[in-house]
Amino acid sequence: MQETNTNFSFLADGGECGDLIRSINWSETSLGPVDEWPQILKTTLGLILHTKFPMFLFWGPELICFYNDAYRPSLGYNGKHPAAMGQKGEECWPEIWDFIKPLIDNVLEKGQASWYEDQLLPIYRNGRLEDVYWTFSYSPVFDETGKAAGVFVTCNETTEKVKTLSRLEESRDELEFAIDAGELGTWDYNPVTNKFFGNARLKSWFGLPADAELDLTTALNAIAEKDRARVTQAIEQSLQKSSGGGYDVSYTIINPVTRQERFVRAKGKAFFNDTGDAYRLNGTVQDITDDSIARRQLVASESNFKAMVLQAPVAMCVLKGPKFIVEVANDPIYELWGKTAEQMLNKPLFDGLSEVKGQGLEELLIGVLTTGERFVANERPVALPRGDVMEIHYLNFVYAPFRNEDEIIGVIAVATDVTEQVLSSQKIQDAEERARLAMDAVEMGTYDLDFVTSGIITSPRFDQIFGLNVSSTHRDYVSVIHPEDLETRRIAHEVALKTGRLKYIARVIWPDNSIRWMRAVGKVIYDDNGTPLRLLGTAVDITESKQAEEELREINQRLELALEAGNLGSYELNIETGEIICNEQFKSDFGLKDREQFTFSDLINTVAPAFRERVRAAVGSAIKNKNSYNEEFQIICPDGSVHWIRASGKVRYTNEGKPALIIGVSFDITDHKNLQQQKDDFISIASHELKTPVTSIKAYTQVLERMLKQKGDEREAAMIAKMDAQVNRLTSLIGDLLDVTKINSGKLQFNDRVFAFNELVAEVIEELQRTTEKHVLINNVNYTGTVHADRDRIAQVITNLISNAIKYSPLPGNIIVSSISTENEVQLCVQDFGVGIPADKQELVFEQFYRVSGDKQHTFPGLGLGLYISSEILKRENGRIWVNSVEGKGSTFCFALPASPVTQA
């Protein structure tokens, strides 16, 4: 039977739980339908459902559960509600049944109520088992019979309260801990009662008794006299509502017992009631003695540091932050930057000094700022502004991190400008290097002699020069100097001590007893008082130049002897100044015996006018062509006498190739010339005198030959013909002699005209072929041009060459006559296969009276004049003559003449 329609007054307005009870079909439960419920149950339920206080009821033997809306939250969501309503107690509360069953039993059996406060009874709710705290009472509900029929539970969940309390406890612990850890004193002052309370630490600082409440005045007594009024005032002020209640004051306390001073900071807050009167002021006291010292020290050290930077003799600055703001900088660094304080101070470094951007310094600074590692630069080149230009300066600098505690907040830069040192050390290095190279080049040894200790430091080369080894002492070096040179050395050292300069040359005797020459040069170093301290010296082995000098001296001596013996003059002409240095013989050769000094033009003036230009030209051409000259000329002496001089000279050049000197010799050839003249005169007279009788003889022989032939005396006529041939040879010899005298006196006549060269050659060949049967003359001349010269003289030359070819070819053979022509000359060559001429004689055959001597000398008659005359003729005709010959194989004589190779018409 459904009871929902039943009007259950006790359930009316019973809230959600009342509705829930009504909705349950109780007839199916052990309680039976509601109508049949005992009145006490209904009454109790009415009470429960209508109260706002959380209540619960266990009823009957099965301890059926009832509860009201106020209790419901304790069942949570996803938990017991709504199933708990009407459920058996044991089924509803299995998780705590062990705990509450005895309590319920106790109530039911003994009728005793019980009370529990903040009891932890974890229950299942909200989908899990939760720790829930309860404050509850269990009391019996008696039925009509006075028997306890149910247990009435008033309960209150105190979970929140318990947790808050425990949190409070925890935070109090934490506070305690913080106060302890922070070594704080705590205090609490009641302005109403003027009582003051402090914790143990505070009391010990203030020297107050441990357990008493105190008057504020007692506490204030511990404050240093100088601070007391100020503290009192601060307290009074904080107690004024208008002040906001804040209290913060630092002062010194002096422990009245131990006299220990502390510098403390007291902080607190005043609390005010509704009427605006302060009822409490509490707070803490912190010992800041150490802090205060540290801060004072910090402030002091910061200002010290700043002062230190400003007064530092080296360039220094502090750059703060990632922009490197110039915080402190001293004058030297402004000078180094080439900037003023206005341009730099409190500005980013690279804004004020934008000129040095991009030289890698930004990166270095950033590196120091980020890594904290200092950077040290040595002689680093940095371009810095100086006026309008950038100058390279060499800097030694350090970038060090500038720290605050552990944080790097900037960079300290310290710099020194070492430009001058770097440059001068570079110069010194350069100079040393040059000196070393120079010393190496001349193989110079060096030494450093200490006058005080006699200690000597030497270079390996120096030891080598002295033939000694490194470990030698000063005495050792002196001991190897040649005994004869020790005096020289001693004097040189004596002079050196006075003048500061040492210089001498001495011989050194080497261990193998060989003698070497050495030149020592040195410089004395003095102290401030002028006392000689050290000698820095060099030594060079000059043995070779000494030997060369010696050789030169000998050569000069020999030369002088030779010059003297040969009456040779010698001279040296300075081309630039014309000055002449010479020996006495030279002066006398030029008739300038009285003159101390003379020049080239003085010399030229002594030359006979007829020769003057020739001599001048010869000297000029020697200078120009860088060769020598050799001239014979006449000199007119001041006394009017005339001398023949042969002078020769060779040009010497400077290293730059400029002609500097002519050196040479002169020789008086007057006697020689006179003899030559006498010889020429004799030949000339003799040949003239011979010419007439020989001509007569020739005429008579021809007449005689003709007469004998007419008489039929053939044999006699043949003898006369041979005589005629000998007369012809005599005529030709006399002709040669006459030609020579003419050449020597410059009287050889020439009648130049144009003629066909090949015709002349053919004529000569034809004529000479008749004189020989053993030789075949082959004419290979193919030149068809003309020649402008004296035809007879050229015929004389060709005749001479072919005659010689025949004469010096004793065996039968060919003689080849050939020609070569070029654009402006014709060459004629006569080749024989005869005796030939030794190479060293070939040049000489063109000289007057020269004949190649040898065993065969007398086999070939002659005067040695033919080739001389030929060469003189060619000289006059602007031609040349030369020979190629191999002794025993034959000779080829050639001459060349200027020619025009025009083919004859």
Among 158, 684, 804, 819, binds ligand ADP (CB under 6 A): 804
Among 866, 881, 896, 897, binds ligand ADP (CB under 6 A): 866
Find all residues with CB under 8 Å of 135, minimum gap 6, and list them: 116, 117, 118, 119, 155, 156, 158
The least distance separating ligand ADP from the CB of residue 866, rounded to whole angstroms, comes to 3
Question: Per-residue string for binding with ligand ADP, 817-836, x by CB under 6 A?
Answer: ---------------x-xxx
Sheet holding 456-458, edge to edge: 456-458, 445-450, 532-541, 515-526, 501-509
The least distance separating ligand ADP from the CB of residue 854, rounded to whole angstroms, comes to 8
CA–CA dist 428, 704 (Å, integer): 109
Which residues, 420 to 449, sit near ligand ADP by CB under 6 A? none
Among 837, 881, 894, 897, binds ligand ADP (CB under 6 A): 837
Q: Which residues pair with 413 in a beta bridge?
A: 317, 399
Smaller CB separation from ligand ADP, 45 or 805 = 805
Angle at 842 between CA 623 and CA 669, to 5 degrees: 50
Among 592, 867, 874, 897, binds ligand ADP (CB under 6 A): 867
CB 448 within 8 Å of CB 536 = yes
CB 895 within 8 Å of CB 881 = yes
Stretch that binds ligand ADP, among 55-63, 399-407, 448-456, 844-852 (CB under 6 A): 844-852
Q: Quick check: 881 binds ligand ADP (CB under 6 A)? A: no
Q: Quick check: 852 binds ligand ADP (CB under 6 A)? A: yes
Q: Quick check: 675 binds ligand ADP (CB under 6 A)? A: no
The least distance separating ligand ADP from the CB of residue 765, rounded to whole angstroms, comes to 16
CA 696 to chain centre: 103
Smaller CB separation from ligand ADP, 361 or 883 = 883
Smaller CB separation from ligand ADP, 57 or 740 = 740
Smaller CB separation from ligand ADP, 662 or 869 = 869
Q: Quick check: 865 binds ligand ADP (CB under 6 A)? A: yes
The least distance separating ligand ADP from the CB of residue 832, rounded to whole angstroms, comes to 5
Find all residues with CB under 8 Å of 124, minimum gap 6, and list them: 79, 80, 95, 130
The least distance separating ligand ADP from the CB of residue 880, rounded to whole angstroms, comes to 17
Which residues, 882 to 901, sit near ligand ADP by CB under 6 A? 891
Among 365, 805, 829, 874, binds ligand ADP (CB under 6 A): 805
CB 291 within 8 Å of CB 262 = no
User: 841, exposed or middle or buried, with CB in 10 Å at 0-12, 13-18, 19+?
Assistant: middle
Question: Per-residue string for binding with ligand ADP, 68-97, x by CB under 6 A?
Answer: ------------------------------
- Which amino acid does the sequence have at 554? E
CB 867 within 8 Å of CB 808 = no
| Sequence-distant contacts of 853-859: CB under 8 A, at least 24 apart | 859/810
Between the CA of residue 42 and those of 48, 49, 56, 138, 900, what are the distances in Å?
Answer: 10, 10, 14, 19, 175
Smaller CB separation from ligand ADP, 272 or 882 = 882
Residue of this chain nearest to ligand ADP (CB atom): 862
CA–CA dist 422, 380 (Å, integer): 10
| Cβ atoms within 10 Å, residue 599 | 15
Q: Quick check: 744 binds ligand ADP (CB under 6 A)? A: no
Pairing of strands 813-821, 775-780: parallel
Smaller CB separation from ligand ADP, 813 or 864 = 864
Among 241, 347, 646, 851, binds ligand ADP (CB under 6 A): 851
Q: What is the DSSP string of 707-774?
A: HHHHHT-HHHHHHHHHHHHHHHHHHHHHHHHHHHHHHHTT-----EEEEEHHHHHHHHHHHHHTT-SS
Q: Quick check: 808 binds ligand ADP (CB under 6 A)? A: yes
Question: Per-residue string for binding with ligand ADP, 341-380, x by CB under 6 A?
Answer: ----------------------------------------
Q: Quick check: 790 binds ligand ADP (CB under 6 A)? A: no
The least distance separating ligand ADP from the CB of residue 890, rounded to whole angstroms, comes to 7
CB 113 within 8 Å of CB 138 = yes
Task: Give the binding-site size for ligand ADP (rule: CB under 6 A).
Answer: 21
Measured in degrees and rounded to the nearest 5, phi and psi for residue 539 equal -140, 140
CB 508 within 8 Å of CB 466 = yes
CB 297 within 8 Å of CB 206 = no
Stretch that binds ligand ADP, among 108-116, 158-166, 690-698, 861-869 (CB under 6 A): 861-869
CB 827 within 8 Å of CB 818 = no
Q: Quick check: 11 binds ligand ADP (CB under 6 A)? A: no
Between the CA of residue 465 and those of 279, 439, 510, 523, 548, what are the distances in Å?
Answer: 110, 13, 9, 19, 18
Q: Quick check: 845 binds ligand ADP (CB under 6 A)? A: yes
Q: Quick check: 862 binds ligand ADP (CB under 6 A)? A: yes
Question: Per-residue string for binding with ligand ADP, 211-250, x by CB under 6 A?
Answer: ----------------------------------------
Give residues in contact with ligand ADP (CB under 6 A): 800, 804-805, 808, 832, 834-837, 845, 850-852, 862-868, 891
